[in-house]
């Protein structure tokens, strides 16, 4: 199977393995989301960015982003965000949290493995 970034680069159509993974880029964020699923935090299901964002009502997104960025994960940046999931945890409720961005797919995989 070709790496996800190769599929995107060559514009190869793939069937999503799950309705919760709407685009190829989402697959890069999915492995690390397993640590969030057993918590009360929303992992972004029911939004346009599932597994790329995390949060819940009552979180200070600026403080959370600051603390996560202080971990100095090479190539990873956390940005404050707000969202309202339509399904899943906190459906229909305003949530605040962070969006994780990575400079490369290799970094995403390394961070997901811990």
pLDDT surpassing 60 at residue 67:
yes
pLDDT surpassing 70 at residue 52:
yes
107 burial (CB, 10 Å; 0-12 / 13-18 / 19+) is: middle
Provide the pLDDT confidence category of residue 34 given band limits of 50, 70 and 90. Answer: confident
What residue spans define the domains of the chain?
A: 25-113
Averaged pLDDT, 49-78: 93
Query: In Å, how far are 1, 2, 70 from 50, measured between CA atoms?
Result: 23, 22, 24
Query: What rounded mean pLDDT belongs to the chain?
Result: 80
C-beta of residue 42 within 8 angstroms of C-beta of residue 91: no
CATH tag for 25-113 (out of 3.40.50.1980, 3.90.1150.140, 3.30.830.10, 3.90.1150.10): 3.90.1150.140
Please tell me the predicted confidence (pLDDT) of residue 76.
87
Nearest to 112 by CA among 71, 64, 62, 73: 73
pLDDT surpassing 50 at residue 2:
no
pTM, whole model, 2 decimals? Answer: 0.73
């Amino acid at each position: 199977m070709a790496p996800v970034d190769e599929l995107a680069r060559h514009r190869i159509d793939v069937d999503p393995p799950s309705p919760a993974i709407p685009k190829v880029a989402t697959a890069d964020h999915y492995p690390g989301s397993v640590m969030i699923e057993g918590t009360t935090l929303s992992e972004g299901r029911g939004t346009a960015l599932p597994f790329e964002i995390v949060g819940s009502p009552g979180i200070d997104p600026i403080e959370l982003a600051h603390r996560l960025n202080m971990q100095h994960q090479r190539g990873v940046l956390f940005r404050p965000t707000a969202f309202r999931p339509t399904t899943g945890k906190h459906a229909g409720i305003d949530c605040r949290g962070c969006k994780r961005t990575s400079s490369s797919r290799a970094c995403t995989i390394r961070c997901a493995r811990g």
